[in-house]
Amino acid sequence: MIKAILPAALCAALLAGCAAPGGTDGPAGEAAELAGRNFMWTGGVSEDCELPPSLNFGADGSLSGSAGCNRLLGQYKQDGKKVDLGEIGTTMKLCAPAFMKVEQQFLGLLKETAYITKSGAGIDLWAKDGRKLTTLVPERPGKCE
């Protein structure tokens, strides 16, 4: 009985590996250069033109920016498209519910991020399972669009 099940189990495992989104190399696309660059999430722009969440990738592997309400900081490691944003810390300021919601969404996206690829002048964030999470665009001071 085990001899009959083993070949079927091996075939199923091989097929599952081939069907995984993005494969072992991550999503299709070119690795993004992160060091020394700043990006913002336009999905977090509010109607009253508050500053959107942003990420600043230091050349030394530091990560800083704004989560929407609070400042964020941490470290990142990049190996091609694969990225580890590590543990991200934030200040503990309480803001209006709309800003806290944006912050929770942005931090949730960062927590899920396993890969980063180029997207025009910006970057695409991807989950480990191959789902595209969002696109960040180059930070533009004074712009809310």
How is the chain split into domains, by residue range? 23-138
pLDDT mean over 47-51? 62
pLDDT in tens, 61-71: 999 999 988 99
Instruction: Indicate the fold that domain 23-138 takes in CATH.
Output: Lipocalin (2.40.128)
Residue 145 has pLDDT above 60, yes or no: no
pLDDT band at 14 (very low <50, low <70, confident <90, very high): very low
Report pLDDT for 98: 86
CB 70 within 8 A of CB 119: no
- Of residues 140 and 65, which shows the higher confidence score? 65
Residue 10 has pLDDT above 60, yes or no: no
> At 17, which helix (H) or strand (E)?
helix 2-19
Whole-number Å distance between alpha carbons of 91 and 76: 18
